[in-house]
Amino acid sequence: MALDRLFNVARKEFSDHITSRRFIIILGLVLVISAIGMHSGIENYNTMLESYSLQLQHMQDLEGPYAGWMPEKPSIMLVFSSMMGYMTMLGGILAIAIGFDLVSKEKETRSLKSLLSHPVYRDEIINGKALGGVGALGFAMALALAIALAMLLIFSVVPTLDEFAAVLVFGAVTLGFLLAYFAVALMMSTVAKESGNALIYTLVIFFAVSSLLPMFGAMAANAFAGDPPEPPQMPRMPQEIVRTASSGGYFTSVSQSVVYGGTEDPEWKAYEEEMKTYIEKRRLISDISSLLSPQSNYQTIAIAVTQPQIFSMMQSPYDTAPEETTGLAGALGKVWMNIAALIVFPSAFFAATYVKFMRMDIR
């Protein structure tokens, strides 16, 4: 495989993608809706920032168990969390639109045979097509992040270095999610004889792994874990509330402990232990099914990056004193399995596409 021929194929595919009407329409729709979501997110961020400033002003007047408590400072990553929902649907459609006819179109027009008559090998063609599609998706993601950062600067919101690093990680994770369905579409385009069939096959897989798989996983988790434990009949009346705050990079975590006369209430403590065991049983099955879904992996990683405190609460909802946050690296460390799954999923489909194309009978 010669790199010059590989890059020539990739350059042609990239040029065809970014100049096609289909790509421009879907990309424009993604950018417009993302910009609207960003605008709404920035307004919410400014409102939360004003509330944070007011809380700081009145902090010195707090007495009792709340004395010395630091309010949580909002992060601009909350703004990017609104992009996650749009990318999950529209981004997946953009990735599918790029890849579903890359090979099938060549077979329908019988141009693949004439292409192979030139001094170019099969591996250079399929790798070049894949590389060109990856470049087009990378261009779309870079453009979306550039517009998002420009809107932040227009509204006088300047991210810190930690927040800027988190934005880049969010963009990389989103690109990984887009590549997952691009790989599926490219595989179906190689398997199917017609582009219409390739599109149908890809949409079926898209629907199955995005909707059916998590639903079946939740049903299996409920059946495996059984009924949840019943809470104690005695109401929880705390005598003392201890609040602690810790800073970890671009966010601040706040934890609350309920104490009864210097010791935790034994009945409620036993109930929380039972609930932890119940949740762990449910998570064992649901996590396995979620690892097979690019949507679930993407959403888990994106929440860990954009809203790490909420992610920590989701992971340990019954912990009265959650672990101290350790910044972006710590948040990513908690979702390493989801990151690995998001890498393995498209890699497996790309490998299957390569093998199928190399063995394909072209007549």
Predicted confidence (pLDDT) per residue in 153-179, tens digit: 888 888 888 888 888 999 899 999 999
**CA gap 306, 77 in Å, rounded:** 5
Give every CB contact of residue 161 below 8 A, 6+ residues apart in sequence: none
Task: Compute the Cα dihedral for 254, 255, 261, 267 and give only its sign.
Answer: positive
**CB-neighbour burial class of residue 134 (10 A; exposed 0-12, middle 13-18, buried 19+):** buried
Give pLDDT, residue 239. Answer: 47
Mean pLDDT in residue range 118-145? 86
Give pLDDT, residue 178. Answer: 92
**Residue 243: in which H helix or E strand, if any?**
strand 240-248
Give every CB contact of residue 330 below 8 A, 6+ residues apart in sequence: 248, 308
Specify the higher pLDDT residue, 181 or 72: 181
Terminal Cα-to-Cα distance of the chain (whole angstroms):
23
**CA gap 190, 118 in Å, rounded:** 20
Mean pLDDT in residue range 132-142? 90
**CA gap 3, 119 in Å, rounded:** 13
**pLDDT averaged over the chain?**
77
Residue with tokens 């099914």: 289
**CA gap 267, 228 in Å, rounded:** 16
C-alpha atoms less than 13 angstroms from C-alpha of 180 in its C-beta half-sphere: 31
CA distances from 172 to 2, 44, 68, 175, 194 (A): 28, 25, 39, 5, 32
Give pLDDT, residue 243. Answer: 46
Give pLDDT, residue 173. Answer: 92
Predicted confidence (pLDDT) per residue in 44-68, tens digit: 777 777 776 776 666 655 555 444 4
Q: What is the number of H-type helices and E-type strands within the chain? A: 15, 2
**CA gap 275, 281 in Å, rounded:** 10
Phi-psi region of 232 (alpha: psi -120 to 50; beta: other; left: phi over 0): beta
Angle, nearest 10°, between helix axes 77-86 and 122-154? 130
At residue 243, what are phi and psi to the nearest 5 degrees?
-115, 140
Distance of alpha carbon 192 from its chain centroid, rounded? 29
Predicted confidence (pLDDT) per residue in 195-243, tens digit: 889 999 999 998 888 888 878 877 777 777 677 777 776 665 554 444 4
* Structure tokens, 210: 């995005």
Give pLDDT, residue 345. Answer: 92
Check whether 6 has a pLDDT greater than 80. Answer: yes
Check whether 180 has a pLDDT greater than 90. Answer: yes
Q: Which residues sit opposite 253 in a β-bridge?
A: 246
Residue with tokens 């932040």: 152
Give pLDDT, residue 258. Answer: 47
Domain boundaries in the chain?
3-359
**CB-neighbour burial class of residue 266 (10 A; exposed 0-12, middle 13-18, buried 19+):** exposed
Q: Which residues sit opposite 241 in a β-bridge?
A: 258
What is the DSSP code string of 1-26? --HHHHHHHHHHHHHHHHHSHHHHHH
Q: Which residues sit opposite 242 in a β-bridge?
A: 257
**CA gap 42, 36 in Å, rounded:** 10
Contact yes or no for 253/324 (Cβ under 8 A): yes
Give pLDDT, residue 145. Answer: 87
